Amino acid sequence: MDDVCPQTPPISPTSPSGLLEELEAEFKTGEFRSHAYGSLSGAIQIPTEMYDDMGIPGEDPKWNIFAEMHAYLESRFPLVHAKLTKVTPNTYALVYHWQGSDDSRKPILLTAHQDVVPVEPSTADQWIQPPFSGYYDGEWIWGRGSCDDKPGLISTLTTVETLLSKGFQPVRSIVLAYGMDEERGGRAGATAIRDYLLEHYGEDAFSIIVDEGGGYIVRGDALMSTPAVAEKGKLDARLEISTPGGHSSIPPRHTSIGMLAALIKHIEANPHVPHLNRTSTYYTQLHCQAEHDPLFPPNLKRLVKNSLHCDKALAKLEKELLKSNPMFGPLSGTTQAVDIIHGGVKSNALPENAYFIMNHRIDVLSSVDTVKYHIADTVGPVANSFNLSVDAFGAQYGDLSKEAAFGHLQLSDAYGTQLEPAPVTPTFGSGPYELLAGTIISALSTSNRTDIPKKVFLTPSLSTDTRHYWKLSKHIFRYGHVGREDHYNGAHTVNEACRAEGFLEVIRFHTRLILNGHDSPLLE
């Protein structure tokens, strides 16, 4: 099974000579740690909350907090702002260009985001420390954004600031890009960054992109690192029934809401069926765990090994995972979930319109069209049985016309944001993956922390959120290098906090990534 999940040897920087050793010694000092933790704390104290209804950047005053963030970053990282070229696409997105000595080499792109999800006011008193305090208690740094994604923002800037202070000059250029509305899909920030980078660098211009995403987790006496190399697609489907209205004292046999309920019941009774596929990222992840994870169940290990060449074993493995692993469906297939439902305005009036919106996360081996076909094929017969005509994403379903029907069912893309699954980033045998993997293993295996193992293995995984950058590189990795145990309560929730020692590891990783990558032949 070694050929299914080969592990890269550690890659440690060798040039400039002695610089890594000097930096590692500095990272151990109380002065460096205090300053680094203070930088993250200060960024958390600026409440860059992102709301779905934000207006145009530069016009809506709700964006003004990002100007405060920019001023803070400029004061905290003076060398970055003195020596790198800074651009602000769409007012509050940030791009920094660090010119390398060899323009023939493709640059490295490191990304993160400045914004955070809002804190629900009614939960403020449930926080151990105030949500925008940035309080450091000697172990944890508290506050909204301490997990998502101000560690990525502050770590990359801290790394570059420190390297500049040592007089380091990269061979290939380094670009830092920070969106400002990732938490609503990046429609103002990441899109503007993408357009700027495409205009000034071109398509496939970057040798590697590392964005937020996977991290690492303790598995017995080993650490499992999970850089994400694939992303599911997305479809928010709107299903809207239109029927004649009227007084509720004279109802039809089935109201629009009743028919809507029947459709939902039928949809949930006919989900997308997950399947194992030998070409999928999830299947590769299973093989990596079977080979290297000391906590992987022995019975699954045998099934995984046998399934590589035996279809019967593959089917048996699929059946076992479906029974024992609640994450099997989300990781190996398309998911569907009804999240919004609306209908009616008065208790004695029949609603003319009722609708629901159903979110789909589309398997990497599927497509938007496949999901649309599944929806139409599932609800079409039920709708026709209610004497409803059906428009399935622009095409009539069945023989019942709108003119001849009692009512109508309209299937559509709710927000116009349908998204195909991402191109899968090359892994084993690919130079950029080998560089990332070797850097991760090098950083974790040399950590001074006594609370984590030093044995490390990697497994590719799934993630989200880089869709705007797909044209910039074939080698996109969603990886934040944060340990799961270094999150107090996770992101997007009450008591978000990051363990300070874990944040230091992020800085060590980004430092090694730049030093390894700036002159590496593994990158183009």
> Do 27 and 66 belong together in one domain?
yes
Q: How many domains does the chain contain in total?
A: 2
Confirm or deny that 236 is annotated as ligand binding.
no
Beta bridge partners of 116: 49
Question: Is 523 among the domain residues?
Answer: no
Domain extent at residue 170: 19-231+422-517
Residues 219, 71 within the same domain: yes
Residues 406 and 430 in one domain: no
Binding site annotation covers 420? no
Same domain, 346 and 447: no
The CATH number that applies at residue 445 is 3.40.630.10
Establish whether 182 is a catalytic residue.
yes
Q: Of 413, 447, 473, which residue sits at a domain end?
A: 413
* pLDDT at 521 (0 to 100): 97
**Residue 391 included in any domain:** yes
Q: Is 113 annotated as a binding residue?
A: yes
Asked if 172 contacts 106 with a C-beta cutoff of 8 angstroms, the reply is yes
Find the CATH number of the domain harbouring 287.
3.30.70.360
Nearest CA among 170, 280, 188, 247 for reference residue 518:
170
pLDDT given at position 15? 87
Residues 462 and 401 in one domain: no
- Asked if residue 241 and residue 224 are part of one domain, the reply reads no
Among residues 115, 486, 496, 501, the one annotated as catalytic is 115
Q: Are 480 and 365 found together in one domain? A: no
Residue with tokens 């008065």: 346
Are residues 346 and 259 part of one domain?
yes
Residue 4: inside a domain: no
**Rg of the chain in Å (alpha carbons):** 25
Which of 413, 438, 459 terminates a domain? The answer is 413
Q: What distance in Å separates the CA atoms of residue 97 and residue 109, rounded to the nearest whole number?
A: 9
State the pLDDT at residue 1. 43
Distance separating alpha carbons of residues 220 and 293, to the nearest angstrom: 8
Q: Does a structural domain hold residue 9?
A: no
Q: Is the same domain home to 394 and 367?
A: yes
Residue 171, in any domain of the structure = yes
211 among annotated binding-site residues: yes
Q: For residue 308, tell me if it sits in a domain.
A: yes
Same domain, 252 and 220: no
351, 381, 413 — which closes off a domain? 413
What pLDDT score does 464 carry?
Answer: 62
Same domain, 92 and 221: yes
195 contact partners, CB below 8 Å, separation of at least 6 = 89
472 belongs to a structural domain:
yes
Of 49, 149, 181, 182, the active-site residue reads: 182
Ordered per-residue pLDDT tens for the chain, 524 residues: 447 899 999 999 998 999 999 999 999 999 999 999 999 999 999 999 999 999 999 999 999 999 999 999 999 999 999 999 999 999 999 999 999 999 999 999 999 999 999 999 999 999 999 999 999 999 999 999 999 999 999 999 999 999 999 999 999 999 999 999 999 989 999 999 999 999 999 999 999 999 999 999 999 999 999 999 999 999 999 999 999 989 999 999 999 999 999 999 999 999 999 999 999 999 999 999 999 999 999 999 999 999 999 999 999 999 999 999 999 999 999 999 999 999 999 999 999 999 999 999 999 999 999 999 999 999 999 999 999 999 999 999 999 999 999 999 999 999 998 999 999 999 999 999 999 999 999 999 999 999 999 999 999 999 766 789 999 999 999 999 999 999 999 899 999 999 999 999 999 999 999 999 999 999 98
- For residue 31, count CB atoms less than 10 angstroms from its CB and return exposed for 0-12, middle for 13-18, buried for 19 or more: exposed
The answer to whether the annotation marks 70 as part of a ligand binding site is no
Rounded Cα distance, 425 and 119, in Å: 34
Q: From residue 266, how far is each of 113, 238, 243, 254 by CA, in Å?
A: 40, 16, 20, 16
Question: Which tokens sit at 512?
Answer: 């090694």
Question: How large is the greatest C-alpha to C-alpha distance in the chain, in angstroms?
Answer: 86
80 contacts 160 by C-beta, under 8 angstroms: yes
Co-location of 334 and 296 in the same domain: yes
The partner residues of 175 in beta bridges, in order of sequence, read 97, 109
The reply to whether 125 belongs to the active site is no
Residue 232 exposure: Cα atoms within 13 Å on the Cβ side: 20
Residue 3 placed within a domain: no
> 238: buried, middle or exposed (CB in 10 Å: 19+, 13-18, 0-12)?
middle
Q: Residue 239: name the closest of 358, 400, 344, 405 by CA.
A: 358
